[in-house]
Amino acid sequence: KKMPKKISIKKYLSICKDKRLIFFSFMALIQQGIQMSTTMSFTTQILKNLGSSSTLIGLSSIFYMVCAVISSGFASTKFCTKYEPKFWIPLVFILVSAYCFLVPTIKNINIIFVLQVLPGISTGILLSYLTSESMKNVPKHQRSTAMGFFQAIYAIGMSVFPMIVGKISEYTSIRYGYFVLAIIAIVASILSYTYYKKLDLTLNYDIIQS
């Protein structure tokens, strides 16, 4: 009686070896890690250091969430789907990188407030596409397992990245913590761009062979 259960569990967990799922889970780890380290924590600290009021800090969080909702809706529009994830994922990682470079450098509260649009786009467009792209090879009966794996992986980023930025801030300054995140976002953009380029080459090769 135990054998079928073991085989069944092994079969369900086998999806966690899927290379596409692993890659996009890792991309989501970076996206969520940067999000938690900036918008959800240290950007608030930067605004406080610049003399921002609690009301404005609260409004900046609301503005970010509104942008996330709007960009999430935008991700499903004909215009957005026309260019496909292979265009948007590398692009939005570059926008995230720009955010990480600009926020600790600019000393203007109002500009930082406006820059909250960028992490909003990251949550709305980037995370939406990373989730859908990670599930493309997953059969219906393994969706729950794959989604659990995806969430478990990006949760690591949500815990580890703020700790890293915090440590960098202790030894140097918060600015350098953000700069490290910016570099990581650029690397993620390059990796995702390269991934899709290789995928296109493989598909073209298969078409030629057939």
Question: pLDDT digit of tens for each residue in the chain (210 aa)?
Answer: 444 444 466 766 777 888 999 999 999 999 999 999 999 889 999 999 999 999 999 999 999 999 999 999 988 888 888 888 999 999 999 999 999 999 999 999 999 999 999 999 999 999 999 999 999 988 888 888 899 999 999 999 999 999 999 999 999 999 999 999 999 999 999 999 999 999 877 665 555 555
CATH class entry, domain 24-209: mainly alpha
Give the helix ranges, DSSP H, for the chain: 2-13, 19-37, 43-49, 54-74, 78-83, 85-102, 109-115, 117-121, 127-134, 143-171, 174-209
The predicted structure's pLDDT at residue 12: 63
The predicted structure's pLDDT at residue 13: 73
| 135: three-class secondary structure by DSSP | coil
| Of 183, 176, 158, nearest in space to 36 by CA | 158
Residues contacting 203, CB < 8 A, separation 6+: none
Rg of the chain over CA atoms, in angstroms? 19
The predicted structure's pLDDT at residue 206: 53
- The residue assigned the tokens 């939005």 is 92
Quote the CA–CA distance of 186 and 94 in Å, as a whole number: 6
The predicted structure's pLDDT at residue 204: 59
Quote the CA–CA distance of 188 and 89 in Å, as a whole number: 9
In this prediction the pTM is 0.88
Quote the CA–CA distance of 35 and 116 in Å, as a whole number: 11
Tokens of residue 76, six digits: 């499903």
Residues contacting 46, CB < 8 A, separation 6+: 103, 104, 112, 174
